[in-house]
Each structure stands twice: as structure tokens, then as C-alpha cells.
Amino acid sequence: MIKDNQKTLNRLHILIDATIIVVSFLISYYFRFYSVLTKLSLFKVEKGTYYPLYVYIRKCLYIILPLYLIIYNQAKLYTPKRVKKKWTEFFHITYSNFFGMAFYLFYLYLRKEFNISRYFLGIFTVINILLCTAVRMSIAYGLKVVRRKGYNLKHVILVGYSRAAEAYIDRIFANPQWGYYIHGILDDTMEIGTRYKKVPVIGKLNQLDEYLTKMNLDEIAITLNLKEYEHLEKVVATCEKSGVHTKFIPDYYSFFPTKPYTEDLYGLPVINIRNVPLSNTFNWITKRIVDIVGSLIGIIICAIPMLIIALLIKLTSKGPVIFSQVRVGKHNKTFKMYKFRTMRIQTEEEEAKGWTKPNDPRVTGIGKFLRRTSLDELPQLFNILKGEMSIVGPRPERPQFVEKFKEVIPRYMIKHQVPPGLTGWAQINGYRGDTSITKRIEHDLYYIENWSLGFDFKIMFLTIFKGFINKNAY
């Protein structure tokens, strides 16, 4: 039932997107050639000097419409939305529109077509992104409301009680908008009636076939305890015979990356415990080129703001403008990370105390503003240019904290397999300053294991909106 609903919804999404593209096209044509914009000197256009609408439709819409729908499909905008974050979809919509428009402009260049208004194309891009995002957000909100009321649910049972089962239930209960309803757990080691967060143990493993027959299930999640893996082959065979979609959540999931890297050893699948794309030489060189170009552009753009900040620091407190602090970088090598000084001059003992706290007396007046807006981090552009840091990566920590955290936080040291960054996946998700180190490491590991150049650009893009203002900086 859910699969059929999803196919219908996907087809509806394609139809809606096609309608949005057409509507955006018509609105953009009106704005460009008939609205008050034409009275402005920058956008002024004389009647009779531009193509009529039917020509724009023939030369633009007939190409843009199928092109955009193909790009949307490649950007996975027509895949299930239950567990996707909405701002991720906005990024994909924006990226797809810019990519599609760049492709179309290149097509116009090859055709030597210079009479299609570039202003019109710019207006179309903005309107189409806004309309598409607004409509999709409205649909998502509507589905969220419907699912919270108990409709359009995905009915699931778990096979096996384990840490994996508890982790799965935790995530489902924390996200009711996904629309999952867990009927219960089948397990041989727990008493029937035992509950975890209202999810009961409803039977034994040998009753799986019975429950598959009498219940209209959309999904089965195999969450067997590690000690019960002797039953795995039989459970999988029973699930496949039923035709119900089956997922396997291993009890040792904590050892695996979110996207396991597998190898085919003459037909034998081999799962690598840790996949680090940046260990690939080509990937590393590509990232380094982006860092060099990006840091140079950043230094040029921020040169005057940095001079103003330096002057304000010099005028409002005694001491040097730049503050350097030893941090741990790639391969556990230490380096001096640069910042604008935001505190009064301290002794080494005072400096080693730890993170700042609310109303910390060590922070200067201008320092509070710099820390809150992350402008104190701008000198790290020079660390990036030197190769000690990257634009995107896990934030580097001081040696004494690295020694502490590596003993108490599993997999903490994996972050040092890649260069530290000025911004990162953890930072744009709110884990900065005095926040959960465990959550920060989880996000850092996700970044390390799922790195791509596109992911880096995505984080840079989101940093503009979410990365500068730091509510946890004091």
C-alpha cells in the first residue's frame, strides 16, 4: 500500500514540478516585459524589441521543462521524503536550478542565440526556486499532519530484540513525521509483553510467518541480537518469501560507517570498517585546489573587514591583534591556529582552563561580538592557505582535550584522518562551542565517510545561513 502511495506521490510531484516550471516561466515573462520593472532604467525594454511569448515558449520552455525534470530526478527529488531533512531538499532544488540554467545558457551560446533576455532567465530561476520550495514544503507539512493523525503510515514489525532494535525505535519515536508505526517485536529471549518505549514483544521468531500472513505489513526490520545470528538465514528466507520489503540493521552497527564501503573479492562481499574518500589522492588534490583558491578569494574579500577588526581590537584592549593556539590537525600533527584575539592577555594556566562560559570576564567587549559572529575565525584563512587546515572539515581541538576525549569518546581520533576545517558538518548543525562532543563527533564521522566535493560546497553554502552566528559562543 505504501509503495503504491509513494509511486503515486512521485508521479504527482513530477506533474506539480512541471506545472510550477510553466507557471514560473509565465510569471517571469510578465515581470520582465510587462511589469513596473520595465520602467526602471536597468530593466527598461522597448515594445517590439523582444520575442513574443510563443517564441519564448518554443525556444526556452520546450527545452527547459524536460531538462529540469531530468535534473530533478538525478538530484533524487523524486525519492521517498520520510526521513529527509527539508533544508536538504531546498539545497537540491537550488543546485538543480542553477545547474539547469547553466546548461541552458551554454546551449544558447552554442546556438549563438543572444536575443533571449538574460534578465528574464535570472528572474525565472529565482521564482522557480521559491515556488518549487514553497509547494514542496507545503506538501511535506500536509503529509506530516496527516501522518501525525494516523494516516499514510508505514506498518512495521521488528525481528529480534537488541541494541539495534532500541536504536531503531528511538529514531522512529523521535521523528513521528516519518509516519512509521511499529506493531511489535518478535524475539526468543524476551518475555512476551516486555516493552521498550511502548513497543511490546508480541511473539517468538518461529511466529514470523504467521504474523506476515495475518498482518498487512509494509516493512520488516531484522534487528536480531548478535547471539541470535544463527537464525538469520531462516528469518531472511521467510521474509523474502513473503515479498514484504525487508531491512537488516546489524547489532554491530556502531562499527560500520553510515555508507559501508564494500569490495567484491571474486564474488565474496567484503565490508570495510571505515571508508575515508579523502585517502584517495585525486580527491585530496581536488580538495586542496579548492582550499587554495577559496582561501585566496576569502583573504581578498575579507581584507578590509579584517583590517577594521584589527584596528578595533588594538584600540579597545592591550595586547596583540592575532592570537595563536596549538591545535591537533591531520595525522595528529600539531599546528598553530590563528584567531583574532577576543580575550584579555592571559597566563598559560588561565588559557588552559577550558571553554569560555556565559559572561566570562576574560572576553573583551569587541571579543563578544567577534565570537558570536565567528569573525574571530577569519585569520584561519591563512592556515588554510598554508595547508594546515581546510575550508571544510572537523574543527581542530587543543592537545589536552584530544588526550581526554580519545579515552572516553569512541572513534574520536578518526577525525584526525582528514584536515581540520574552518567550518564543518557539525558546526552548521549547531554543535559548536559548549555542546555535546559525542554528537559533534557523530557529525564529523558522517562527513569523513561521505565526503564529496559537492558535500563541501553544500556545507559552504549552508554556512552562509547557519554557520556564522554562534549562540554557544560567549
Res. 243 pLDDT band, cuts 50 70 90: confident
Tens digit of pLDDT for each residue in 97-137? 999 999 999 999 888 888 888 889 999 999 999 999 999 88
Q: How many helices (H) and strands (E) in the chain?
A: 16, 12
Lowest average pLDDT, out of 227-236, 260-269, 451-460, goes to 260-269
Give the mean model confidence (pLDDT) for residues 363-371: 86
- Check if the beta carbon of residue 186 is closer than 8 Å to that of residue 208: yes
Give percent above pLDDT 70 in the chain.
84
pLDDT above 90 (res 467) = no
* DSSP per-residue codes, 45-89: --TTSS--HHHHIIIIIHHHHHHHHHHHHHTTTTS--TT--HHHH
For residue 409, the surrounding DSSP H or E stretch is: none
Give 82 or 92, the one with higher predicted confidence: 92
Domains of the chain as residue ranges with CATH: 2-148 (no CATH), 154-255 (3.40.50.720), 279-466 (no CATH)
The beta-strand segments (E) located in 363-456 are: 390-392, 421-423
Residue owning grid cell 584561519: 380
pLDDT above 60 (res 455) = yes
pLDDT above 70 (res 43) = no
For residue 1, the model assigns a pLDDT of 41
- Check if the beta carbon of residue 277 is closer than 8 Å to that of residue 283: yes
AA letter at 147: R
Tens digit of pLDDT for each residue in 308-326? 999 999 988 888 999 899 9
Helix (H, G, I), strand (E, B) or coil at 156: strand
Of the ranges 172-181, 213-222, 459-468, which is most confident?
213-222
pTM as predicted: 0.53
Tens digit of pLDDT for each residue in 127-164? 999 999 999 888 877 777 776 666 667 889 999 999 88
Tens digit of pLDDT for each residue in 44-75? 766 767 788 899 999 899 999 999 999 988 88
For residue 271, the model assigns a pLDDT of 73
For residue 348, the model assigns a pLDDT of 63
Nearest to 81 by CA among 9, 165, 17, 18: 9
Res. 2 pLDDT band, cuts 50 70 90: very low
Tens digit of pLDDT for each residue in 6-35? 566 677 888 999 999 999 999 999 888 887
